[in-house]
Structure 1
């Protein structure tokens, strides 16, 4: 059994039109939601064995909140260029190469790929995973290379507006 946690980046800012899509930071709501979701999730799961992230600023900023809450550092975050566009096949290809000794992985990615991949793996019918949404998936595999060839169960799906989190 393996556990996969897919996290959509927190809400990003469109304030500075001169920034490229890759360089957009979190806005105030994103800066608020990321640590709140990380705290909430840390009470539900054990610390993931590996943290993998798209190289965009907004995903790295979101991941930083989770790393801090789980007692990790930036050195524990693996950046994967192929996650920038966040297609399902890119996520699957990266997961196929996760160390087999790792029982859990947390990926920080983008939409629509996160929603599509959660639905593909679990047979769910989630219309849209909102910003800073997190899906937890149980995978009936012994090796990450089997990722798309196994039964998978959606354990949970949380997002900031769906929770009554303290401000």
Structure 2
């Protein structure tokens, strides 16, 4: 059996906003376009997410909404600027074999580097820009069995490629 992870960083957020906190910052115009494009790309994949685990921030909520995925989401404060260890712990609690995890850097980028043995040959994998999405497959029956460097990269994309920018 396999488990598949979509590891997605939120789309580009607005900095010049009246949001009362970093947690409340919304997406900007480009971020909204990127999130929609990412959703279309995810829906074209052979394996679809069955569950979404997301940070509770405004920008991750908006990214999820604009992706228009069929999978239900749970939003948790634990994934807001989470460390790789916390991301690992949250993923171990997943109940479905196909999960999209939506979060923030630097923890998301660090987690991506820890879970794959061979990183994708992509120039942006090392900095994991906004909207970056990694698809990784694991030969496990349950997320609690996931080990570092055990993931096989299926694909990696950044929104600029999807938008033709």
Partner of 2:116: 122
Q: Assess, with a 3 A threshold, how the Cα gap between structure 1 residues 129 and 45 changes in structure 2: closer, same or farther.
A: farther
Alignment match of 2:102 (pick from 100, 108, 111): 108
Q: Give the distance between the partners of 2:164 and 2:9, measured in 1 at CA.
A: 20
Task: Give 4+ residue runs of structure 1 displaced > 6 Å after superposition.
Answer: none
CA offset digits 1:54-108 (Å, max 9, x no partner): 0000001001122x2x335xxx210121100121111100111112xx2210011
Give me the CA root mean square deviation: 1.9
TM-aligned CA deviation for residue 45 of structure 1 = 3.5
Partner of 2:153: 154
Gaps of 5+ in 1: none
Q: Indicate the SS of the match to 1:148.
A: coil
Partner of 2:78: 82
Partner of 2:12: 11
CA offset digits 1:9-50 (Å, max 9, x no partner): 000001125520000000011011100111022112433110
TM-score normalized with structure 2 length? 0.88
CA contact (8 A) 1:5 1:106 kept: yes
TM-score normalized with structure 1 length? 0.87
Q: Give the distance between the partners of 1:164 and 1:142, measured in 2 at CA.
A: 32
